[in-house]
């Protein structure tokens, strides 16, 4: 499946979530995504929509693969066994062997920043 390789250019510059700040709000347009790391080192992906922001850890709940966002289908896909998750339905499993959704990360807009809560 060629979906995952094509998605790697869709991410922003990885950033470490130091002091709970992920990225300045002005750096992400509405409809955009931004990859970052949680303080524990876990990879995560942030989404900005017209109504706000939300994020998920991108470690696949099936067997720990590294899931990536595939924007053309609006799905987060794990390349290991092709599990797919819908970030716009709370990370729900759409296809594949995973039985639980991607873990959500609580984020919010605080002033000029998007932060981890």
> Which residues here bind ligand FES, judged by CB under 6 A?
60, 62-65, 78, 80-81, 83, 96-98
Q: In whole angstroms, how close is the CB of 50 to ligand FES at the nearest point?
A: 30
Choose between 6 and 30: whose C-beta lies nearer to ligand FES: 6
Q: Encoding tokens for residue 35? A: 């990859």
Element (H, E) at 4: helix 3-7
User: Which residue in 62, 63, 58, 97 sits closest to 75, CA to CA?
Assistant: 58
Q: In whole angstroms, how close is the CB of 17 to ligand FES at the nearest point?
A: 23
Choose between 25 and 94: whose C-beta lies nearer to ligand FES: 94
Angle at alpha carbon of residue 22, lines to 16 and 23, rounded to 5°: 115
């Amino acid at each position: 499946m060629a979906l995952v390789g094509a998605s790697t250019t869709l991410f922003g510059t990885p950033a470490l979530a130091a002091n709970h700040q992920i990225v300045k709000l002005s750096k992400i347009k509405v409809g955009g995504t931004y990859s970052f790391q949680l303080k524990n080192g876990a990879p995560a992906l942030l989404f900005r929509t017209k109504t706000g922001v939300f994020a998920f850890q991108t470690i696949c709940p099936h067997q720990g693969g590294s899931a990536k966002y595939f924007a053309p289908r609006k799905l987060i896909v794990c390349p290991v066994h092709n599990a797919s998750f819908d970030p716009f339905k709370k990370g729900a499993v759409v296809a594949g062997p995973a039985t639980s959704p991607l873990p959500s990360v609580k984020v919010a807009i605080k002033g000029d920043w998007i932060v981890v809560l």
